[in-house]
Structure 1
């Protein structure tokens, strides 16, 4: 047998032993090989590699040094290359077998003999992260970022770099080093923008929503835009992240940039929606918002003149379902607003059904419940939402969940956006008989709908309405035989939704004329709570430079509820109540909201020094405690408060609301009715101002309302969540019976 064939034979035997993790016997083979063929250097390379696998690294170094001791410089260089090849092959093999610690050890030795091998460095960092042996500081000390920035003459493995980028974003974001690494990657991956997008976009969505770090997510996508600034999908998310991070000017500019790109009508509508969101959320871009909403209506109307086709991308259909969100914030015209919303929702559902036709056929085959209406089996109630957490909806819906009769109802929770560090979220998860926690990185509505279908849910309760496109998409697929919208917003208009929960007051008598869903009116109220947690207040009159005998009016709402016409009415109240001040609070951009109110105050003859702009409080409990500083709360119109109204009434503070026709303009009205208060209910603009002046100047009347509200805690439907739950459960039972008929 020749030396070559002998070496090959030893190699084959050793490979078999390595596959069996029998490293010591494989090493013995190479020791024999060295005795037989002492001049064959590869035997030494393999023997040293096997020593590393047995954690005898000093011995490995000794074997390699001994083999190279008699070599010339050129020979040593060649042997080093050969040793490197053996270590790389062994490291790859160990990685494939998921022996990551062994692979890391092999690559660490490779770094010692080939310190300039950038690909090996990337592999080392990747393995260290996978082994959870690397911190952000450790990453900084590896010098990998500076090497990526300064090196240019290596054939770097781009898939490896993208894999490592994904690992670093997952492990370290929102630590600044993750952004530093992403920036260092750009020059290497500019030729693979699709690969870069595949890593950066899901990571940014997770960071923005699950980690609640939208500014970091925006910075990450802004880096992506350095190599691809025409990506319409990236620009859409970037605009949203800027807005969520209160960087409204950048959010608006990005939405405008997106809208200027050549795109389909559906993408133009989404760009328009993003622009509206950017203009309305800060609360100070009213005139620009009026122009934008008119253009948005025109785009939606143009869409309805087209016919849905099967080739529409799913994401464009999904986003369309939320595109009518801002309509009721501008005008109290439910017939007009709901007509447009209903048509858009129907168009979207038709397009969606064309794409998922097989799935829809299966769901429609179960259009009636599987069990008799008189069955003793508990009804399976599914609750679908991204808000079952520290959110307005989360604070309110918890009472229904708490008081549910578990002998009659089995609760399934479908949690969109897994919030592991949210205590109220965890409470909801624990309350459910079955909980399905869904991330948001790569949401698939068809998969989620299939989960609901496979769970045999009898009645699916949607808590989001059109505030979240993913839940709207699921409703349009109709995975449950009975689907109901409650609490989160107005009705969806989606044909797949059967019922909308209301009460005698929150919708006018003729509302069914313009709702596609059947309006199910509960006998007293569509919402009730047992109360709210209240902490220590953070506001004092002396800190606000307001005297004890002054009258304080307060409005605490999000920026997009700030309608200019209502702000004018509020200023007229302040003007006509001597020694009064107006406290303005809510999530908005401080500069724009201050300019908005100050301009209106001046136009109404109110000195700006009678206005106070309050920052957001750290917790909901502190916010509720701070409400007590107000003598009167002024509600918004045409979009009232909801949770804020309940909190105001719970704290015993008089409230003035302007009642309209749409659901959003009647929330405070139904809550006042259900707590036994008539004072402060205004049916016209004039009455709104009259009530403001009357309550502002009549301290005795304010005190009378305060005591009524305090006593109502023991008597009113609004504060009787157990009774409300029985009424909701009766509604579920009646829906079930009706579905069988």
Structure 2
């Protein structure tokens, strides 16, 4: 009769044989050895545990769970068995059960970093981002060199929009493992969102090198950073390199064919870029079958997030190009997402409030938020049920004001939330009207606007150019700003709202500063040109040079671009214009850094005149200037986007600030800048007339009437 010691030794030998078989990849032999070992020693928990792992490797998950549970029956505190059951359940997307097993593992082994990490993963899958972050944090406290937990912690911080903490976590991963390509890529994305463009470039460049031949995604991200740095040649090169990795990818094709510079070196470069854009549209249309046949619909839908943002700053008629691009998007969507392209019928609105939705990534303290929050917060709530869809992680006091004043606030952050999920959420709310306050500044909303998500869909002039989308029915604009026959410039039906078309609160002015506070020169005429540099068309250069030629004490005050490359390109062009007129650029232009809004208003109060830009005039900047009593010289353009300041000044009766042509513009700028007595008279008229543009309710009541008329609802109250 064999004694118990021999049996135990045989069982241990079989366990070792199983381990060697697993190591050699012979899983069936390993399983057979473990089965024999269990027959000999059924009370040995590790044999059941190893059998469970082997069955998991053989893709027999239910049997694996049963074996791991047998290990627990033999040894109730077997933390590793609970943990592995949790892993299998997590892989089966049974996240609640997985989390319960990970908690059991931690209960029996409180210093188990792997179980904390895995519990964090299941909680994240359940949408409990705070809970996930806490578990990942505990995992790295227990094991400071735990690369996976640091990586997961970075992802959790991203989920919670805590970008600085995410950056720290991904940097920690790369200190432990410099070749962790996913962490490198995520780090670049975080740095990009934080505006650290040079750091993002370095991270993406490193990620590209780590994945030669398979780095299309990283190349696309690098190209986007180059674009925001104002480096168009590098942008196009990176997108084209991504195309060599995946010739049928849509994202890199859009980038290679349609990317435009932020600032042009000259007019010839502008026209060349526009022609390349037009040719690119033809190539995109011709390749629709290739895109669809080589990519999954979900991937294509994500890649279709694109906007032709810089196109509108070329100062030309964009209707045909916008419509051509919109037709391309529509043709793609009909094939890959037909559920979002179906007609939506108007429903009887009798006896109920109309359901009005507003979708944007700019419901915060920025131009769009300041312009259009009143469309949400000041509508009659007895007549309208307001839905707001905010698609960016950033929020602030303006966002909170909107949250407080709407009926339903959906925070659907584009990126973590896919375009089809956002579209499905909007559809589920069964809106009567969907309004996009801007179209063209945000990639996701520009894609969504191509879909039919409500019976009636409208755009506002947050980015004042036609969307081109057939599914945008109406375009709200300012009657004071549009030229005669403006309707021909839009693919949508134009709705003109009185005055500025919105209720805009007058900025509160704070204690004035001195010029020395901002290193601005005393005894000089300060001509403020505060527009984003991509708004300063090459045609402006001659005007500015003429003004400085006429006023030897004149200094142009500008603000830096988002990246030094953009600022340098603009200033180089400006310097060339001055030298053409034999003027030395040194001291004739001042570049101020980006600053808080209160300080920006103080700069307005220190300057003598604001020079409005051709083709794309000031909007928010002009309202700020007028609130500060700063005279604004403008020359209205052909399109609404070049007539915003004109509309404001017209409403205020300040025709003397509106130029008839470029020569008149120069004369008016010089007179205001150098004749202090005249300037003071104009300032007093600005102060007296500001109530004609700020805090006006008329356009809101007009908008309410429009909504009612579209659904045959009688307005009351």
Aligned length: 623
Distance change in 2, residues 1:388/1:109 (3 Å): closer
Deviation at 1:202, TM superposition (A): 7.2
Task: Show the 5 A alignment for 1:8-407.
Answer: 88-93=80-85, 96-98=98-100, 100=102, 103-104=105-106, 130=132, 132=134, 139=140, 142-144=143-145, 166=155, 173-182=165-174, 184-185=176-177, 187=179, 196=182, 208-209=192-193, 220-230=203-213, 231-241=215-225, 247-249=229-231, 253-260=234-241, 261-262=243-244, 263-264=247-248, 266-267=250-251, 269-272=253-256, 275-276=259-260, 279-280=261-262, 290-304=271-285, 310-311=292-293, 322-331=306-315, 333-334=316-317, 337-361=318-342, 364=343, 366-367=344-345, 369-372=346-349, 375-407=350-382
Greater RCO (Cα-Cα under 8 Å, separation 6 or more): 1
Q: Deviations over 1:292-341 (max 9, x none)?
A: 3332222124445666685465665676674533223123x32xx21121
User: Equivalent residue for 1:24?
Assistant: none
Q: Secondary structure at the match of 1:234?
A: helix
2:527 is aligned with 1:553: yes
Paired with 1:182 and 1:123, the residues of 2 have a C-alpha distance of 21
Deviation at 1:633, TM superposition (A): 0.6
- Indicate which of 507, 518, 538 corresponds to 2:493: 518
Distance change in 2, residues 1:206/1:134 (3 Å): same
Paired with 1:403 and 1:623, the residues of 2 have a C-alpha distance of 27
User: Equivalent residue for 2:453?
Assistant: 479
User: Equivalent residue for 1:727?
Assistant: 702
Which range moves more in the overlay, 386-395 or 166-175?
A: 166-175
Q: Deviations over 1:351-395 (max 9, x none)?
A: 21222224433xx1x33x2114xx242221111100001211111
Q: Deviations over 1:439-479 (max 9, x none)?
A: 12244323322222221211111022122221122221111
Deviation at 1:481, TM superposition (A): 0.8
User: What TM-score does the superposition give when structure 2 sets the normalisation length?
Assistant: 0.76
Task: Show the 5 A alignment for 1:672-687.
Answer: 672-687=649-664
Q: Could you tell me whether the CA contact under 8 Å between 2:559 and 2:592 is conserved in 1?
A: yes
User: Equivalent residue for 1:50?
Assistant: none
Q: Could you tell me whether the CA contact under 8 Å between 1:386 and 1:416 is conserved in 2?
A: yes
Q: Secondary structure at the match of 1:435?
A: strand
Deviation at 1:562, TM superposition (A): 1.9
Distance change in 2, residues 1:710/1:586 (3 Å): farther
Deviation at 1:140, TM superposition (A): 8.3
Paired with 2:663 and 2:517, the residues of 1 have a C-alpha distance of 33
Q: Could you tell me whether the CA contact under 8 Å between 1:239 and 1:255 is conserved in 2?
A: yes
Q: Secondary structure at the match of 1:581?
A: strand
- Indicate which of 420, 426, 431 corresponds to 1:457: 431
Deviation at 1:93, TM superposition (A): 4.3
Deviation at 1:398, TM superposition (A): 2.2
Paired with 1:453 and 1:481, the residues of 2 have a C-alpha distance of 10
User: What TM-score does the superposition give when structure 1 sets the normalisation length?
Assistant: 0.74
Paired with 2:262 and 2:596, the residues of 1 have a C-alpha distance of 24
Distance change in 2, residues 1:633/1:452 (3 Å): same
User: Equivalent residue for 2:404?
Assistant: 430
- Indicate which of 423, 439, 445 corresponds to 2:419: 445
Paired with 1:346 and 1:97, the residues of 2 have a C-alpha distance of 47
Paired with 2:157 and 2:506, the residues of 1 have a C-alpha distance of 44
Deviation at 1:161, TM superposition (A): 9.3
Q: Could you tell me whether the CA contact under 8 Å between 1:174 and 1:213 is conserved in 2?
A: no
Q: Secondary structure at the match of 1:347?
A: helix
User: Equivalent residue for 2:94?
Assistant: none
Deviation at 1:593, TM superposition (A): 3.6
Distance change in 2, residues 1:89/1:274 (3 Å): farther
Q: Could you tell me whether the CA contact under 8 Å between 1:499 and 1:519 is conserved in 2?
A: yes
User: Equivalent residue for 1:696?
Assistant: 673
Q: Secondary structure at the match of 1:419?
A: coil
User: Equivalent residue for 2:91?
Assistant: none
Q: Could you tell me whether the CA contact under 8 Å between 1:110 and 1:120 is conserved in 2?
A: yes
Distance change in 2, residues 1:318/1:494 (3 Å): farther
Paired with 1:536 and 1:243, the residues of 2 have a C-alpha distance of 39
How large is the RMSD of aligned CA atoms in angstroms?
4.1
User: Equivalent residue for 1:705?
Assistant: 682
Q: Deviations over 1:166-191 (max 9, x none)?
A: 4586687444342231464465x77x
Q: Secondary structure at the match of 2:386?
A: strand
Paired with 2:526 and 2:639, the residues of 1 have a C-alpha distance of 29
Q: Could you tell me whether the CA contact under 8 Å between 1:239 and 1:274 is conserved in 2?
A: no
Paired with 2:361 and 2:433, the residues of 1 have a C-alpha distance of 18
Q: Could you tell me whether the CA contact under 8 Å between 2:393 and 2:413 is conserved in 1?
A: yes
Paired with 1:429 and 1:226, the residues of 2 have a C-alpha distance of 44
Paired with 2:569 and 2:142, the residues of 1 have a C-alpha distance of 44
Q: Secondary structure at the match of 2:697?
A: helix
Distance change in 2, residues 1:396/1:486 (3 Å): same
Q: Deviations over 1:45-99 (max 9, x none)?
A: 99xxxxxxxxxxxxxxxxxxxxxxxxxxxxxxxxxxx99x955324434773535
Deviation at 1:271, TM superposition (A): 1.9
Deviation at 1:720, TM superposition (A): 3.1
Q: Secondary structure at the match of 1:713?
A: helix
- Indicate which of 617, 637, 643 corresponds to 1:640: 617
Paired with 1:286 and 1:532, the residues of 2 have a C-alpha distance of 36
Paired with 2:689 and 2:410, the residues of 1 have a C-alpha distance of 38
Distance change in 2, residues 1:446/1:651 (3 Å): same
Paired with 2:511 and 2:647, the residues of 1 have a C-alpha distance of 29
Distance change in 2, residues 1:389/1:161 (3 Å): closer
* Contiguous gaps of at least 5 residues in structure 2: 9-40, 48-73, 88-97, 124-130
Deviation at 1:732, TM superposition (A): 2.3
